[in-house]
Amino acid sequence: MNITIVSVGKLKEKYLKQGIVEYLKRLSAYAKVNIIEVPDEKAPETLSASEEADVKQKEGDRILAKITPDTYVITLDLQGKMLTSEQLAEKLEDLATYGKSKIAFVIGGSLGLSDDVRKRSNYALSFSKMTFPHQLMRLILLEQIYRGFKIMRGEPYHK
């Protein structure tokens, strides 16, 4: 399985980078995982609705440029469906079973996802009703993907 994580913004925090490196190493036994960072759009703290839409559109265009037509896209979205770890494992296993070996998880910027990215999405996934920093979300997502593979294989993993 080829998994790509397309994320807006550059990761700066050392502790997050270390965690991501650790989970990428663990995941290498199960899948090829690639992280693609697309630049975030510089914007002032307060934006009008049209300025916000413009920022999301520009970031969305950058995201979509990194996704091939044959890729199954899972967006991380507050309006998405919440799954247990076991259900996420089942989703990944179903995708592999039905020949969807190229999967992209998309993490939007601080303002969220553009309408175009949402339209391209095959599945919208929510981790919580809470909002997380998109940099931290990368680490959480990698941990859950790793946990999913451990569940699929029936291998032990802490609960």
* pLDDT at res. 83: 97
* pLDDT at res. 158: 65
Cα separations (Å) of 130 from 5, 77, 81, 123? 21, 11, 13, 19
Q: What is the mean pLDDT of each run of 10 residues along the chain (159 residues)?
A: 95 94 96 96 86 95 97 96 96 91 94 96 95 90 97 84
* pLDDT at res. 159: 58
Ramachandran quadrant class, 13 (left: phi over 0; alpha: psi -120 to 50; beta: rest):
beta
DSSP 68: -
* pLDDT at res. 80: 96
* pLDDT at res. 131: 85
Bridge partners of 125, per DSSP, are 81
The dihedrals phi and psi of 127, each to the nearest 5 degrees, come to -90, -20
- What lies within 8 Å, CB to CB, of 28 at 6+ separation is none
pTM of the entire structure? Answer: 0.94
* pLDDT at res. 18: 97
* pLDDT at res. 66: 97
Residue of 1, 15, 3, 2 lying closest to 133 (CA atoms): 15
Sequence-ordered alpha helix ranges (H) in 8-159: 14-27, 49-64, 85-97, 115-120, 134-152
* pLDDT at res. 99: 85
